[in-house]
Each structure stands twice: as structure tokens, then as C-alpha cells.
Structure 1
Amino acid sequence: MIKAIDPNQLLTQMRALQAQASPATQPLSADNAESNGRVDFGNVMKQAIGEVNNLQKTSGDLKTSFELGDPNVNLADVMIASEKASVAFEATLQVRNKLIEAYQEVMRMSI
């Protein structure tokens, strides 16, 4: 059975979402943004890139240790770290590509 949509409830939800999405009257500082539940995109990207960098460094260190014959490092750990770094890098690359694509699309828009 298909449930009918209540127009009043839909309008109430839309107004609530509009109130949440409307920009604040004053610019957000970092502390104010966190208290409002808003996330700074730049900080999120910086943390994500930092994490990818850490994964790649860890992978490189494990590879070097394994190649030098460290008995505490086994091949499985090296391969897992390498794949984690590879997947994280690919995901970051795809996000970058989508951001560039979105930027180009915005630049093509006429005013």
C-alpha cells in the first residue's frame, strides 16, 4: 500500500530544512562553526590529505624495513600497508578530480 504524502507535514519539513540551510548573519569562526555543528571543508581536506600522507610514509617505512631484512616485519603487513596507502591515494585523487570538475562547471555558468 502506498502511503499518501501530507502536504502540511512536507511544508513543515521543507521550512525546517530551509532554516537550517540559510546562511548565518555573521561569518563563522572556527570555534563558532564547531559549536553550530558546521564543518570547515578546508580543515577536513587538510586532515584527509595528512592521513593519506601518514599512510604512505608508514607503507614506505615498512617496505624499507622488510627490504633490509627486519625480522619483525612480515610481507603480509607490508602488502596490507601498501594497499591501504594506494586505496587512500586513489580516493583522494578521485575527490580532487570531482572538485576540479565542479569548479569548471561553475566557471562555465553564465551570470
Structure 2
Amino acid sequence: MDTKNLDSMMARMQAMQAAMATGLPGAPANTDPKAGNGVDFQNILKNAIENVSNASNVAQAKAQAFSAGNSDTSLEEVIISLQKANLSLQGMIAVRNRLVDAYKEVTSLQV
């Protein structure tokens, strides 16, 4: 994954976040008819996890290519891809922590 792809992915994620926050028509539609209006949280989460996995795989592949002596891969590319993968993982961990906190809060509500 190069810088253009990461920038594009970040722009799409920010646009989706803004659309979901404001309820704009650009927000992803929910495919579950029982859930009513809203977003398909499962697909959004699945795509985010796949993006983190892809970033990690790309970083690992670049690191292996560099360690194998591939002249097409520079140390700078390896470091940048590793940092991108790290940032993606940190973001996913933050989302997971927020989801766990929300779950704990919902389960502690008195009915």
C-alpha cells in the first residue's frame, strides 16, 4: 500500500465519519431491513479490520523484501509502511477500547 492508497483510504474514512455524524445521504446504507435506518456497522467494522490487516501485510512484505536485498525496496519505504501499519493498528485498538467501554456502559444500565 503506497502513500496515495493510504491517503485515499483516510479520506474515505473521514468522509464516512462526517456523513454518519451528520446523517448525510452519503452515509453507507444499512442492508438489514429489521434494523431500520442507519449504517451497516458490521460491514464498516469488517472493512476497517481488512484495511488494518492489509497495511500489516504490506509492511511485512516490504520488510522481507528489504531484508532479502531487493533493490526496489528502500529502508525509507519499509519504515513508512511499518509506521502506517502501526498507526492503523493503534486506531483499531482505540475503536475496540471504545466499543468495550460502550458495551460495559450498556450492560450496567438498570432497566
Normalized against structure 1, the TM-score is what?
0.68
Tell me the residue number matched to 2:31: 30
Native 8 Å contact 2:30 2:38 kept in 1: no
Displacement of 1:39 in angstroms is: 2.0
Q: State how far apart, in whole Å, the 2-side matches of 1:39 and 1:83 are.
A: 30
Which residue type is aligned with residue 104 of structure 1? K
Structure 2 residue ranges without an equivalent (≥5): 1-22, 24-28
The 5 Å alignment of 1:34-53 reads 38-53=38-53
Displacement of 1:29 in angstroms is: 6.3
Normalized against structure 2, the TM-score is what?
0.68
Relative to 1, partners in 2 of residues 1:59 and 1:109: Cα closer, same or farther, differing over 3 Å? same
Tell me the residue number matched to 1:67: 67
Relative to 1, partners in 2 of residues 1:41 and 1:69: Cα closer, same or farther, differing over 3 Å? same
Relative to 1, partners in 2 of residues 1:61 and 1:42: Cα closer, same or farther, differing over 3 Å? same
* Identity fraction in percent: 30
Q: How many residues align?
A: 83
